[in-house]
Amino acid sequence: MRRLLFEISYAGTRYHGYQVQQNGITVAEAVQDAVERVFPRREAITGCSRTDAGVHARQFTFHMDTEAAIPEKAAVIALNNLLPDDISVKSCREVAPDFHARYNVCWKRYCYEIWNHPVKNPFLQGLAMHHKAPLDAALMDRCAREFVGTHDFALFRTTGGKDVGTVRTIYEAKVERQGEKVIFSVCGDGFLYHMVRLMTGTLLLTALGRLAPGDITAMLETGTGERGITAPAAGLYLDRVSYQPWPEISLTGGDNHGPG
């Protein structure tokens, strides 16, 4: 029996999230359909995380046990030939039998992308949130950095998730402008249900003059305060999944995210 670790990416626009559900097509279902034709059994796959309907992933991992002898590179090619164009298999490799795609994760990075322009961009529909009013990315960045540290993030979650506890550690949080895009990125050891989308919605309050430096710190310390909207799913990307402790030697260059 072999345990294989796959790395994939996908645009989640037309999917009802990653996890298999009764009410619509999901990423996992599409992947398993392809797996069944290649291996050829409908092997169970275990993902590194769950993403909601409409959420995207630039890097997502899952492991799968199989007795098939197909080489890793051949599996990548075969699966990509069968998968829809909005899902791509980037790599496959054999890992230790006790490796777990979810439980071995050390940290993740999410990015939330905002198209900040009075006019909508038709090429970003379903791929970014449209915010017409000007955003002060520098001010948002100053506020975002207050998320860093180990805190109780109970205020930054919605009901409906299966979270165990509400204390999480955020290693990095920042906001930067790239032309007409404003991008919020956050790295942490785990995230609560809708946590990143609520963090984004809260940072957007700066544009209304309702969030100032120091406010997020107070919210985390007291568990009370005005949080923003749950930002739409379309702008959210699971950007990185790491199996190495924070900080890695190379966060901006190289590829050091595999199991050690």
Residues 143, 218 share a domain: yes
pLDDT of residue 163: 67
Q: Is 65 a catalytic residue?
A: no
pLDDT at residue number 253: 40
- Judged against a pLDDT cut of 70, whether residue 248 lies above it is answered with no
* Residue 256: per-residue pLDDT: 44
Domain-embedded: residue 256: no
- Predicted confidence at residue 258, as pLDDT, reads 52
Query: Within this chain, do residues 140 and 50 fall inside the same structural domain, yes or no?
Result: no
* 141 and 233 assigned to the same domain: yes
Which pair of tokens denotes residue 128? 């970014």
- Is residue 247 assigned to a domain? no
Q: What is the pTM of this model?
A: 0.92
Residues 162 and 65 in one domain: no
- Confidence check: pLDDT of 257 > 80: no
pLDDT for the residue numbered 161 = 64
Domain assignment present for residue 101? The answer is no
Please classify residue 37 by burial: count the beta carbons closer than 10 Å to its beta carbon, then call 0-12 exposed, 13-18 middle and 19+ buried: middle
125/213 same-domain check? yes
pLDDT of 160 over the 80 cut: no
Q: Are residues 52 and 11 in the same domain?
A: yes
- Whether the pLDDT of residue 250 is over 80: the answer is no
pLDDT tops 50 at residue 252? no
Catalytic: which of 52, 65, 141, 239?
Answer: 52
Cβ-based neighbours of 159, under 8 Å, separated by 6 or more: 193
The answer on 174 and 111 residing in a single domain is yes
Residue 180: is its pLDDT beyond 50? Answer: yes
Integer Cα distance of 101 and 99 in angstroms: 7
Whether residues 114 and 67 fall in one domain? no
pLDDT, mean of residues 87-110: 97
Q: What is the CATH number of the domain that holds 210?
A: 3.30.70.660
Indicate if 114 and 234 belong to the same structural domain: yes
Domain count for the chain, please give it.
2
User: Domain residues for 203?
Assistant: 107-242
Average pLDDT over residues 110-126: 97
Does some domain include residue 186?
yes
SS (H, E, C) the chain: CEEEEEEEEECCCCCCCCCCCCCCCCHHHHHHHHHHHHCCCCCCEEECCCCCCCCEEEEEEEEEEECCCCCHHHHHHHHHHHCCCCEEEEEEEEECCCCCCCCCCCEEEEEEEEEECCCCCHHHCCCCEEECCCCCHHHHHHHHHHHCEEEECHHHCCCCCCCCCCEEEEEEEEEEEECCEEEEEEEECCCCCCHHHHHHHHHHHHHHCCCCCCHHHHHHHHCCCCCCCCCCHHHEEEEEEECCCCCCCCCCCCCCCCCC
Among 66, 95, 124, identify where a domain stops.
95
| Whether residue 128 is found in the same domain as residue 20 | no
Q: Which position has the token pair 């990315």?
A: 137
Closest by Cα among 26, 24, 22 to 12: 26
* 154 within a domain of the structure (yes/no): yes
What pLDDT score was predicted for residue 47? 96
